Each structure stands twice: as C-alpha cells, then as structure tokens.
Amino acid sequence: MYSKTKIAVPIFKKNKKEILKIAKEYVDKGIDIIDLRIDAINKPTPKMVKEIIQEINFPIIATNRIQNEGGSFKGSDEERIAILEASSEFAEYVDIELQNKTEDIKSIVETGVKTIISYHDFKKTPPLSEMLNIVKEELEIGDIAKIAVKGNTLKDTIDILAISSKCDNTIAISMGDLGSYTRAIAPKFKAPITFAALDDVTAPGQIDFETMKWILNLNIIDADKLIK
C-alpha cells in the first residue's frame, strides 16, 4: 500500500537557467510536485514565470511568499499578485497566504486554479482553537488549507497532529527539528501534500526527499485493521 500523499520539493533559485536544470534533476529523482519559490527569482515578471512553468512541464505549486511569512519577494503587492495570476494558467496549484487582501485572494481563486491557502508562523505555535479557526477559514476559501508553525514544545507538535486528525484537505506542519516527524506522519492523516528537501531547504525541519520517500512508501498495516 503506497502513500497517496504527494511529496513536494522546493526550488529556491535566482534565475531561469538554474531553475530548469534543477527541475529536470528533481523530476528524474521521482518527486511528485515542484514548489517553485518565485520570490527567490531575481526580478521575476509574469511573462518570465509563466514561461518557466511551461518549460518545466510538470506539476508545480506556484509560491510567491510574502516577506513576513518567510518570503523574499521585493516587489509590490500588485506585482506579486500579478505574477501569481499569470502562474495560474499552467501551475497545478497556487499558494497564497491567508493574510493577503481579500480581493487579492479572490483574484487568484477566480482564475479557476486549485489553491493552497496558507498560514506560517516561524516563532510559535498558536493555541489549538485559534489554529482550527485558521484552517476552517482557509478551507472556506480554497482547495487545500496549509498551516505551518514553529514547534517549541512537544505539545506544540501534538496540537499539529490534532489539526491533521480533525481537518480534511489540510497540510499541517510543525516546523523545526522537534516537529519534523509531523511531515513524515502526514500520510496517516491523508494529507494531500507534504514537503521535503533536496537542494534547497526553505523551512526548518524539512526532511531529505529520499528519506521522506522511503518513510511514506513503507507498507505499514493501518491501526484500525489491527484492532479488528
């Protein structure tokens, strides 16, 4: 029994040539989805990014992360959203943060592309009730909810597992070494996507792709079958 959770691997490179080279290597290694970090590209334009996605010709998450959620994009909000709108024509998913303006999120959703509505906190794990409300709001807007927060205690990581157990179509991650196991255990909660790393590590606690692939494809009997 193989995992239905797809492994996404980020590309965080400055120029088109590097991106295309790395993308081919990643596809050859057997990844499921490329998380294209547009915010890493030097002076990206809608035309350039659309061409990159077309040339890669592989399932892609178009991510243009805002700075206060760990991103590197240096342009205006208008430029950032325009790039995501252009990406939507060929990307498998567009990742857009919940804290964006309502009209900006709506403009992406209305393109018809599948969306990942995301929330990141690189300092702490909010209370469980607050995180559940965040995920609920994300799922009301887009196709997949994503919440990635810093795990400072074991309880923080367990709260993330609670999110995974209660919420469908949700990527719930406890960032950092303490919570790295939440990435590997994602298939047990039927998470649609988990994130691993090859060349670029874009969040603390990301597991190496080959290790993640091995873990996710272990033929483990489900606990409910054992109970029977």
Q: What does the DSSP assignment read for 115-145?
A: EEEEEEESS----HHHHHHHHHHHHHHSSEE
Distance separating alpha carbons of residues 182 and 106, to the nearest angstrom: 30
Which among 146, 188, 213, 225 is annotated as catalytic? Answer: 146
Residues 6+ apart with CB under 8 A from 113: 87, 88, 89, 91, 93, 94
Q: Is 16 among the residues known to form the active site?
A: no
Q: Among 116, 181, 114, 125, which residue's Cα sits nearest to residue 148?
A: 125
Cα separation of 1 and 210, whole Å? 18
Q: Among this protein's residues, is 120 annotated catalytic?
A: yes
118-132 burial, b at 16+ Cβ within 10 Å, e below that, comes to: bbbbeeebbebeebb
The arrangement of strands across the sheet holding 93-97 comes to: 170-175, 144-150, 114-121, 93-97, 60-63, 33-37, 6-11, 193-197, 207-208
From 6, 13, 50, 120, active-site residue = 120
Question: Are the C-beta atoms of residues 166 and 177 closer than 8 Å to each other?
Answer: no
Instruction: State the catalytic residues.
Output: 120, 146
